[in-house]
Structures are given as structure tokens and as C-alpha cells.
Amino acid sequence: MKTIQNQRSIYKLALAFMMLIFAVISCSKDDNFSDNVPDYTESIIQSFKVGTKYADINHTIGTITMTLPSGTDLKNVKPEIRLPESASVTPASGSTIDFSNGPVTFEVVSTNGAHRTYTASIGAYGDPKILSFSIAGKAGVINETNNTIAVEIGSQDGNLNNLAPSFVIAGGTTVDVASGVARNFTAPVVYTVLSNNGYTAKQYTVTVTQIQAPRIDSFVINGTVGIIDNAVNSIVVILPSGTNLSSLAPVITMPADQTVTPASGLAQNFSTGKVTYTVKNKENLTKVYDVTVSSIAPTKYAFLGLENDVNSLVDDDAKAAATWMQTTYGANFKYIKIADISAQNIGDVKVAMLYYLTPSENQNFSASPTDVSTMLPAALRAGASQANVLKSWVKGGGDMLIAGDPSPFVFSLGRVPANFGAARAPGNYVFSEFGCAGVSGCYDTGKDPSDVWGLGMRDANNSGNRRTHAIFNGLTFDGGAGNEYLPLQNSANREVRLIWWQHFDNILNPSCCGSDAAVKFEKTLTAVKFGTLRHIGDAFGYGAVEFKRTDLTNDASFDSQIPKDFKGHIFTISNTIVGYEWNSNGTVNAYQNNIKVFTKNIIDYLYSINND
């Protein structure tokens, strides 16, 4: 037993000795480690004094602010600056400095290699003046000559429409909007500083710019535009069948001051799978994209719906349309849930249909003159990832039929410029009619069969005769010469949304109501007007419109806000009082077959377009 205890003691002693050696070696390594990072505490301004008054120093954003007595000569100020022993400052402590023209920059340099700058601003009591201005820790550049302040914030520093600046004004003054109050800086904002004497004031115009987050704006191979999905950082490019994928040189565009690796124009082998591209912005933030290139012909007809599959669709009209489409196009049909739209599942689609009409089911879609985008689910509103995928897809040559409640999606695509937060004006083409716009829409019952709704096709409605177009093949017009219309609905029960363009008063000239107004509309938006409501006898209203590709030749009056890189076409039926309703709510529509033929003609026409 004693022998075993001795052995254990020897073992413990040896273990302790080894740990001691390890500790000595570790300490030795630590002692030999060379830390070349300078100590920035050696390059700070510890105090900044004029006379007996000390300035306020913000070391985070590097600003120095102070207010001196009223009447102080700001052209001859002698600050006393205290520094660490190893540091020096330019301009030097005790030198005479002119602060009358605005902030002065001081540079502190330490013998250890550390250096930093401070922006000092001095005001006289009662003199209206902003001494410092910052947003999200980013100091603004104050120009006292032009009365301007410029601030550049980072890509992750919030949204321009809701930023709360922090600023300092001279003592003895007030400001109209206090420091810390959030404002919308998407456009220049004015601050007015007023002296307490009530007689003198100064206005500053503040402009905020935001560094763009790293992103790829377009990815083009052999003229084919890739579908960009920023939600999952993927890009899908669909090239013609048989394309050799082993050496392709993409043309990549990004915001200014950003770089991408591999570089734009550099050939890559896409035949073996995904190729990774990394974008870096001026903040050195990065975003990595997985790029997949396939050589197939987009052949699918897709229906975009709110629920998981066709059978689960709640809206009776959407379900009827999707079921018909599935039966009609068979193996080439695919259903895509709107919330699941991605570059991968839209890439093989040639034509997509987006349609629902929800008053009967009351799925909480509604609109108002100030925000028609609320007729759309969140995934389809402007800026949403799914909306951006579809926008990228249409730009690359995808074609869409949009009808019923989601007609405002043409705005989300950026194909028609609209600002729902502003009044209608030139260049802002928001809808002008909002009848039955509430959540429950309108639901008419007991309608007489003789009250036929349809698409008005009179030549006076349009810029010419549209009745010979392929979308009307196999259809018969009623109404007689000069009063032609395509009948679509005469059921007893009808759901209604009357949300569309009536006319373009004060936006286009001429705005209404002859063929000349239709011509102006078509040239401005590179579009074709096909008709309006049956009961309207002139060019008042735009019930059916095809928005054509914009990457070819546009008229001289084409709206410059619209991107000139749309290769796809969009056909819209912008309201339902034309009678475009797929389910008649338990009653009979004598013209239901017209809806089917009309829809198939539109889809087949879009499918036939060569968007290369």
C-alpha cells in the first residue's frame, strides 16, 4: 500500500513539473509576442479650452463644440489643447485660429503611429449656428458658406425615411426641429436655428446619402438576364438549349464603388454546378451569390396563388382559373405559391398568371387612393423579395397575365411608375378610380341577364382597331358597328372591384377621352391599349393593356423613369366590371366560355413572343 502511495506521489510530482514547464514556455511565448497595433488612447484630445471655458468633446464621432460669450471675435481664437505626452496636434495648441467660416479640423499624431482627426466648431452666444450634426454615429460635413450639411451613413444605419439625427446648436439659440427627432431624409431637409433675440435666424439644408449595401443589380450572359433572388442570394440564368456552359463571361453590374469577384467579363465554367460571386461595398461588407446556369428552354405555364396548391386555394375565382389552366396545359403547367417564389422555381416558366378576386371570400385585401398596394399580399409589394424575383424574371423575358385584385402588381414590378404617398402628378401613374375598394369589395346579386358586362372594343376607345389581334381569335363581338364589345359576364351574382385608370388628367396631355389620348398613353409607357368598360363610349378608362418590352425602341415621349431593360411583356385586365370573373357564385354566366377562350388567347399570345 505504501509503495502504491509513493508511486502516486511521484506521478503527481511529475505532472506538476510538466505543467510548470508548459506555463514557462507559454509565458515565454507571450513575452516574445509583438503587438504592432497602435494605442489610440495616445492620439486623443484630452481637453480643449478657450479662456476659462472647456469645450465638449465627442470622441465617438470626433467633434469638439463650444459656445463663447456673445460678441466674441471668432476670427481670433486661441485654444489650449491638452494631449498625451507622446502626441502633437496641428494646428498647434495656443495658435490663433479663425472659426468664423465654420468648423476647423485638428489632427493628432502620436509617436506610436496612432493618429486621428477632430472637427472643432465654435459659436458665439446667440449666433444661430449648428456646431455639429451626426446620424447613426456618422458626422456630417458642415458648410457655413452654403448653409449646407452633408451626411453619409452606412448601409446598415437605418432607412432614409426615418432617421433621428443628433446635433448641437450654439448657446442662446433654438431650433425648429429638435435634436433626436426622427425625420424623412429621402429628400433634403431644412433646419432653422433662431437666436433668442428673435431677430436673427439661419437655415441649414441637410442632405443624407446612404452607402449601398453590397448587391448585384444585373447578371447577363450572352444577352440573357439572370433572375436575381436577394432573399437567398442566388442567381439563375436560363440559356437556350444546347448552350456550351464551360466558358461563359457574365456582364455584371453593381452600385458604384462596389467590386465583385470573379470580375465582370471574366469567363467561368458553369457546367459543373454553382459558381460563387462575392460583392464588396465601400464599407468592406460582402454578399455572396450562388450562380446557377442552365441550358433549357423555359416551357412552363405557371399560376401564382396564395395557398399551398391549386386544391387549397380559398378564393373561388382563383381556384377556377388555376384548375382550368392546369387542365389546359397539363404537363407544362406548374403551380407556385406566391410566398415561395424564387429564382429556382420561376426560371423554367415562360408565362405566369396572377389572378384572384376576393370580395366573396373577404381575404382582407383592400385599397385606398393613398395606397393601392394593399390589394397585394406582402410578398408582392414593391421591394419584397418575391416581387423583386418576378421583376428580375420579367426583365429577363418572362411574360405575365395580371387580372383582378392584384392588378397593382404592375407598379411593384416598376413597369409603371407610381408613388402612393404622393398626389397624382406627371410621372406618377397611380390608379384614379377606387370604387368597391374596401375589404369586402362589392357583391351584386339578382342582376338581370340582359345586363351584360364586357370589354369595350370601339375604335374610339383605342388608338385604332384592336379587334383583329390574336387575343380575340374565335371570339364574337356584340353591339354592332361602332359600338363593339366583347361580352364576358351576365350572371345573377357578381363580385366587383372597380380599381383602374379612368383617365390621366394633369398627368398626360391629352389625357382624355379620344384616340389621341390613347396614343399618348401608349407612347409614354410603351404599351398597347385594348379596351375599356363596355358601357363607356369613348377612350375614358384603361380596362385592358399590354405593356411591351422596353429594351428595344421607345418613343421620344417614353417616360424616362421606366427602366429600359424589360424584355418581358405584361398583359393587365385592370378591373372586374368588364366581367372578368372566373366563378359566378352559384349562378350561370352565359359567356363563361368567352372568359376561357380570351384567357387562353392571351396566354398563348404571350407564350409565342420571342423575347430574345
Angle at alpha carbon of residue 365, lines to 363 and 371, rounded to 5°:
165
Q: How confident is residue 97, by pLDDT bands cut at 50, 70 and 90?
A: very high
Ordered alpha helix ranges (H), 486-548: 515-525
Question: Poorest-confidence range of 24-28, 33-37, 391-395?
Answer: 24-28
Question: Does the pLDDT value for residue 297 go beyond 80?
Answer: yes
Q: Does the pLDDT of residue 142 top 70, yes or no?
A: yes
Q: Taking 80 as the threshold, does the pLDDT of residue 32 lie above it?
A: no
Say if residues 341 and 228 touch (Cβ distance below 8 Å).
Answer: no
User: What is the reported pLDDT for 539?
Assistant: 60
pLDDT in tens, 53-79: 999 999 999 999 999 999 999 999 999
**Close Cβ partners of 113 (under 8 Å, ≥ 6 residues apart):** 38
pLDDT score for 36: 53
pLDDT greater than 80 at residue 249: yes
Q: How confident is the model at residue 19 (pLDDT cuts 50, 70, 90)?
A: very low
At 217, is the pLDDT very low, low, confident or very high (cuts 50, 70, 90)?
very high
Residue labelled with grid coordinates 424623412: 184
pTM: 0.80
Is residue 35's pLDDT more than 70? no
pLDDT in tens, 424-436: 889 999 998 889 9
> Which pLDDT belongs to residue 212?
95
Q: Is the peptide bond before 563 cis (omega within 30 degrees of 0)?
A: no
- pLDDT tens digits, residue range 397-416? 999 999 999 999 999 999 99
- DSSP per-residue codes, 378-402: GGGSTT-HHHHHHHHHHHTT-EEEE
The pLDDT score that the predictor gives to residue 10 is 40
pLDDT bin (cut points 50, 70, 90) of residue 37 is: low
DSSP code for 4: H
The CB density around residue 605, as the number of other CB atoms within 10 Å, is 19
Average pLDDT of the residues in 262-290: 97
Whether the predicted pLDDT of 505 surpasses 80: yes
**Helices 592-608, 316-329: crossing angle, 10 deg rounding:** 60
At 488, which amino acid appears?
L
Instruction: Sketch out the chain's domains with CATH numbers.
Output: 47-124 (2.60.40.2340), 130-210 (2.60.40.2340), 218-295 (2.60.40.2340), 300-608 (3.40.50)
Q: What is the mean pLDDT of the chain?
A: 91
